[in-house]
Every structure is written in C-alpha cells, then in structure tokens.
Structure 1
C-alpha cells in the first residue's frame, strides 16, 4: 500500500489524477460540467486533462513504469 505522504504516493496520485482528467475529457456530459472552467480551482482539472491529452505517450509509459515499480520492486 502506498501512502500519499511519501514521494512515491505523490507521483502515483499525480499520474492517476492526470489519467482520470484525460479520460473525463472524452465523456461529453462530464466535459461540459467539469472541464468548462480554465481558471481557478476548477482549472486544475482542465490543465490536468490537457497534460494527459497532449502527453498521452509519456503519461502511459509513466503509468506502466510506476505499476511495475509498485508491483515488483516495492
């Protein structure tokens, strides 16, 4: 189990947040509701979705490497 207060936990949380926001950007009803604001506290979701969409190869490779690390090394 990875806790959020370790460096590993922060990286895993960040990757999951970016992946989730990028997925929610593809759902039409949720895109209008959650990702409509580009500034403020709701803008974090929009910015994470943009990062996940534009850097999808890097994010996917990071998820695979992190999963391998958590399952086999840690």
Structure 2
C-alpha cells in the first residue's frame, strides 16, 4: 500500500496522471471533450497530457523503474 503523503506516493500519483492524460489525448472523442480547456484543473491535465505525449520515452522508462522499485525493492 502506497502512502499518498510520502514522496514515493506523490511520484506514483504524478506518473499515473501523466500516463492517463497522455492516453486520453490519443482518443479522439475524449481529446475534444476532456482536454479542450487550458485553464484551472483542466489546464493542469492538459499540460500533463502534453508532457506525456512529448516525453513518452522518458515517462515510460520512469514508469518501468518505479514499477521495479515498488514490486521488488520495497
């Protein structure tokens, strides 16, 4: 169980948000509905989707390393 207030929990939550938003950016119907606003909370999700789309290789590497850390090392 990951504690949401630990540093690990924040990193895991951030990675999940970036990966989920990047996936939603690839689905045409969700992209128009979900990622059209660029202000407030929806703007943060839009920026997370841009990060996930443009930096997909580093995000995938960090997700893999975090999965190894959570499953094996911790």
TM-score by length of 2: 0.96
Question: 1:9 aligned to 2:14?
Answer: no
Mapped partners of 2:40, 2:71: distance in 1 = 36
Any stretches of 5+ residues in structure 2 without a counterpart?
A: none
Mapped partners of 1:45, 1:37: distance in 2 = 9
C-alpha distance after superposition, 1:14-63 (max 9, x if no partner): 00000000000011111011100112221011100000000000000000
Higher helix share: 2
Mapped partners of 2:33, 2:50: distance in 1 = 16
CA RMSD of aligned residues (A): 0.6
TM-score by length of 1: 0.96
Q: Which residue of 2 aligns with 1:50?
A: 50
Any stretches of 5+ residues in structure 1 without a counterpart?
A: none
Q: Which runs of 4+ in 1 moved over 3 A?
A: none
